[in-house]
Amino acid sequence: MKVLYFTSTGNCLYVAKRMGGELYSIPKAIKEGVYEFSDEKIGLVFPIYNLSVPPYVIEFIKKAKFNCNYLFAVMTYGMFDGASTSNLLKVAEQTGIAFSYVNIIKMVDNWIPRFRMENQVKNEHKKQIEKHLEVIISDINSSKGFVHKDTKLDKMMSNYFLESLQRTKEQTATIEKAHGIDRLFRIEDTCTKCSTCAKVCPVNNITVNDAKPIFDDKCISCLACTQNCPQNAIRLQGEKSKARFRNKNISLKEIIIANE
């Protein structure tokens, strides 16, 4: 079994590791130009962005070829998954692939413009992550056929959110589909120029020379840079607190290896 994952704070990497099998980083595969995978089972593990599949992952899926008998996807989210499954199935239909299994799992939400990370961590136990993860792993091990169904409310909320986002993104600059949120970052003087932010960036959007980190225009708003900064020196406009998050089961080195 091969499990392809995309992670910024370790949630998806933890899910992928718990599944077992061979792990493949989606950012690393993209950087190396590897888009064809073969195995009895192949899975995708990635976070839900803006109540849908991240554009970064969509681009990968459209280019990839999965040679397998059982293709599955597990999406992580923090508060509301919206119509993410419908979004994924639409992409699959466009690319001529079929998922045998699609499920979601609620974990810590790392979107700091909306959530305080200290509160997310404090209430993590309420999400019963391990219980839900064990069910998903059992399903996949037994090759169960299952596709999570979005409700009419899910679809309505997702459509409303995305339409509102499209109308207001230029005014609010909170989330931008084209260039991410790179212009909303500010580097504090506590920065030691360690280059960790550049190493964890999945799209090589950050450079660190003799000065502070410089952001290009390829940001995909994953927040890996600010969430993993050893000095907590990267501030984001509108953040709810200075607290940051990384899955307690995943090391910084693992995230660097996944995204460097």
pLDDT recorded at residue 167: 53
Count CB atoms within 10 A of the CB of residue 118.
14
Phi-psi domain of 44 (left: phi exceeds 0; alpha: psi -120 through 50; beta: other): beta
Does the model's pTM come out above 0.85?
yes
Distance between CA atoms of 244 and 139, rounded to whole angstroms?
33
Report residues of the chain scoring pLDDT below 70: 154, 157-180
**Residue 195 domain boundaries:** 182-259
Helices (H), the chain: 11-19, 26-32, 55-63, 84-95, 117-122, 129-141, 152-172, 196-200, 224-228, 252-259
Asked if the structure places residue 163 within a domain, the reply is no
Domain boundary among 135, 154, 173: 154
Domain limit, last residue, from 134, 154, 174: 154
Residue-wise pLDDT tens digits, 163-220:
665 555 544 444 444 446 778 899 999 999 999 999 999 999 999 987 789 999 899 9
Could you tell me if 129 and 208 lie in one domain?
A: no
User: What is the pLDDT, as a whole number, of residue 51?
Assistant: 83
Alpha carbon separation from 188 to 55, 172, 194, 211, 242 (Å, rounded)? 30, 23, 13, 12, 12
Amino acid 164: pLDDT: 61
Which residue, 59, 48, 116, 56, is CA-closest to 86? 48
Question: Which DSSP category does 151 fall into?
Answer: P
CATH number at residue 212: 3.30.70.20
- CATH classification at residue 55: 3.40.50.360
18 and 115 both lie in a single domain: yes
pLDDT at 151: 75
